[in-house]
Amino acid sequence: MVSSSFLPGWATRINSTFLSILLAVASIFAVLFLYYSQNPFLEAFEAKTYDLRFRDMRGAIPLEPSIGIIAIDDKSIAELGRYPWNRIQYARLLDKLKAAQVKAVLFDAFFPEHEDKANDQAFASATKRAGNVVLAALFDYGKDGQVKGVMRSLPELEGAAAGVGNINFLPDDDGVNRRSPLLIEFDGKLTPSLGMKAAMLALGEQEYAIKPYEVILGGRHIPVGVNYSMWVNFTGPPGGYPRYSFTDVVNGRIPAEQLKGKILFLGATAPGIYDMRVTPFHGNTPGVEVHATVADNIISGRFIRQGGMEALLDMVSIVLLGAMAYIMTTRLRLYGAIPATAVLLSGYIWFADYMFKDGHWINIIYPTLSAILALLVGGGFRYMVLEKSAREMRSMFSSYLSPKLVARLEKDPEAAKIGGDNKEVTVLFTDIKSFTTFSESHPPQEVVSRLNEYLGAMVQVIEQHDGTIDKFIGDGIMAYWGAPLAQPDHAKLALECIASMAVRMHELRLKWEKEGQEAFSIRGGLQSGDVVAGNVGFAGKKMEYTVIGDTVNQAARLEGTAKYYGITYLVGENTYKLTAKSCRYRELDKIRVVGKHLPVTIYEPQVGPNALSDSQIARFESALALYRTRKWTEAQAGFTELLSELPNDKPCKIYIERCFHFVENAPPLDWDGVFNRAEK
């Protein structure tokens, strides 16, 4: 007979085993569903692995030797004058290149307006004589993602050229350019990209064919996705392709034999022209190099594929890794299964890297998530779900949250669940000006030491003003006030914080200069508004308390916009309204940012040692009022007078340039005085 005491234990073990198998299978199918639905959160992480594979795993690869870049660089600007240049310079350039017998010249620039008849004709004639010039076109997309317009060069210039190529970029949500629109359809016509046009000229192909998910050019089958977008197989950091300074070519300093047979892209490499793009290898890559890389990919036939075969491998990997991780939890104790799964995942990542080097992008995030989920479900789900304690809460959150929040979570563990609440906060983004240049010109040890000294000082200031530091973004800081605990005076605290930061930065600069070290400065953006605040991530494994929403995006864009205006801090309209009585401001501009219809007013808070006087603010705003009422000459005079007092004031310089432009090119009658920002 079977004892009655045996049956309950046997049944319990059977039920536990069945439940663990069921949960493991459910977790694997859940990951498959997330993969099928292209979960945006996980897709963003997978995109980062794309960058990682280029930058830290595969590295640079040999370049197509026939490709070069004619650089509109600082040297050329110094010799030829402020950019843009007279079109005679381009005519001279094309004649030099024709004499050198280059294979093709591709302009990462377009010429939509007349300069004067003689110069335009000289440029057009030189273009026609060359016979191998491709000009650029820039397509404008509407909110629905459809092309609604195009900016092209003058008809007489396009008529003289050998073709036109689109120079559009397709940055992902995080701002990184990973894809290129190989073809853009508008008015029933497809326009190849500048890189594809270069490849066509290099390969002697005048026609191309289109099939589902590929473009055929000669014997090359180029893999494309939706809207003919191609994953760019980046060849390495910027500066790999040989660069020939525009002025050196024009003035005959480059031997003709160096240029003979070359496919030359002409574009800006000078940072001041603002044609820099974020790529997996570098956050400041000239856009012309991205076009050159696309041409390199097509000519060499080195593509990144993410098609049906790769999708099948992804799904097999999700199932296989999840099943293997679960099996290990049944054969090994939990603490033995964890390192075994780590080894398993290391092997898979090696395989993914091997496939990537062969041109196949197979997923890392979803299979890894499948293995981790199965590990947790199979070996530790009871511990993770039913036996949480205040000690675990402290271990999980104390490394990145304030002691006040950790104490709250100890009392209320449910606050750690995925989700969040609506909060009114003030968000701050800061960044070091020209940190890339600084880091490239100093030893790594000094860069890290100086960065740690700066971050340590700023963290102290933020904490002294009851701010929460969300994260460090390279040399940047994201902080906020008003969450997780409510702070009614969050905007005032933030303004007081940036005032103290300005003072502290001044002290650091004096210290560094006294020590004979190069001093750097910072800039920041501040905006107030509603956000979603809470823990995001994967419950029980990886969570992070953060704030998300349009207010965060606006603060980040204000930090970037501060660079355009050459100021230290830029404040949004919401923060201004909350602190107008406690802080002096200079109204800078009304702008319409990318993706927004309604304009916003931006302000410069007068904090720190370089604050303007009340008189200077009043005179600036008086000139600004004249500008907005279309009195260009009077406004220009006002800004010029103030600039004599403030020779380094970039806002005055910007408005002087705008006034000069509007005197010659009056805006339409319905002009609203708003400046449309073309960059985020």
Over residues 5-28, mean pLDDT: 59
| pLDDT at site 464 | 86
Q: Are 455 and 549 in contact (CB under 8 A)?
A: no
- Residue in this structure with the two tokens 């930061």, named with its chain if needed: 501
The lowest-confidence range among 324-328, 392-396, 443-447, 676-680 is 392-396
CA 567 to chain centre: 21
Residue 85 phi, psi dihedral angles, 5° rounding: -95, 165
What does the CA dihedral 370, 372, 374, 377 come to, rounded to 10 degrees?
-140
pLDDT for 353 beyond 80: yes
CATH, domain 423-607, list 3.30.2320.50, 2.60.450.10, 3.30.70.1230, 3.30.360.10 = 3.30.70.1230
The pLDDT-based confidence of 272 (bands split at 50, 70, 90) is: low
Torsion-angle region of 473 (φ positive above 0: left; ψ -120 to 50: alpha; else: beta):
beta
DSSP letters, 210-266, are EETTEEEETTEEEE--GGGEEE----SSTT-S-EEEHHHHHTT-S-HHHHTT-EEEE
The pLDDT-based confidence of 11 (bands split at 50, 70, 90) is: very low
Helix (H) or strand (E) holding 404: helix 403-411
How confident is the model over 409-426, as pLDDT tens digits? 555 555 544 556 888 999
Over residues 358-379, mean pLDDT: 86
- Helix (H, G, I), strand (E, B), or coil: what is residue 187? coil
| pLDDT at site 409 | 55
Q: How far is 590 from 599, CA to CA, in rounded Å?
A: 6
Structure tokens at 592: 């319409």
Burial of 595 (0-12, 13-18, 19+ CB in 10 A): exposed
pLDDT for 383 beyond 60: no
| pLDDT at site 387 | 40
Q: Are 204 and 26 in contact (CB under 8 A)?
A: no
Q: What is the mean pLDDT of the chain?
A: 85
Q: How far is 247 from 252, CA to CA, in rounded Å?
A: 8
Q: Are 217 and 199 in contact (CB under 8 A)?
A: yes
pLDDT for 8 beyond 50: no
The pLDDT-based confidence of 257 (bands split at 50, 70, 90) is: very high
The pLDDT-based confidence of 400 (bands split at 50, 70, 90) is: very low
612-673: CATH class: mainly alpha
How confident is the model over 452-510, as pLDDT tens digits? 899 889 988 998 888 888 888 888 899 999 887 778 899 999 999 999 999 999 999 99
- Residue in this structure with the two tokens 């511990």, named with its chain if needed: 383
pLDDT for 219 beyond 60: yes
Over residues 74-78, mean pLDDT: 90
Structure tokens at 463: 């904490």
- Helix (H, G, I), strand (E, B), or coil: what is residue 388? coil
Q: Are 153 and 112 in contact (CB under 8 A)?
A: yes
Looking at residue 605, its amino acid is: P
Q: Are 269 and 288 in contact (CB under 8 A)?
A: yes
Q: Are 67 and 292 in contact (CB under 8 A)?
A: yes
Instruction: Name the residue with higher pLDDT: 534 or 567.
Output: 567
| pLDDT at site 445 | 87
pLDDT for 262 beyond 60: yes
Q: Where are the domains of the chain?
A: 6-58+306-382, 67-300, 423-607, 612-673
356-361, long-range: CB < 8 A, 24+ apart: 356/53, 356/57, 356/58, 356/304, 357/58, 359/233, 359/302, 359/303, 359/304, 359/305, 360/304, 360/305, 360/306, 360/309, 360/310, 360/313, 361/50, 361/231, 361/304, 361/305, 361/306, 361/310
How confident is the model over 84-107, as pLDDT tens digits? 888 999 999 999 999 999 999 999
Which residues does 620 contact at the CB level (< 8 Å), separation at least 6?
Answer: 586, 612, 639, 642, 651, 652
Helix (H) or strand (E) holding 421: strand 421-432
| pLDDT at site 93 | 93
| pLDDT at site 59 | 87
The lowest-confidence range among 79-93, 393-407, 439-453, 616-630 is 393-407
The pLDDT-based confidence of 16 (bands split at 50, 70, 90) is: low
Instruction: Name the residue with higher pLDDT: 571 or 173.
Output: 571
CA 418 to chain centre: 27
How confident is the model over 613-650, as pLDDT tens digits? 999 999 999 999 999 999 999 999 999 999 999 998 99
Same fold, 423-607 and 612-673: no
The lowest-confidence range among 103-117, 369-383, 524-538, 566-580 is 369-383
How confident is the model over 663-677, as pLDDT tens digits? 888 888 888 888 876
Percent above pLDDT 90 for the chain: 41
| pLDDT at site 13 | 41
Q: How far is 347 from 355, CA to CA, in rounded Å?
A: 12
Question: What's the 3-state SS for 506-534?
Answer: HHHHHHHHHCCCCCCCEEEEEEEEEEEEE
| pLDDT at site 390 | 46
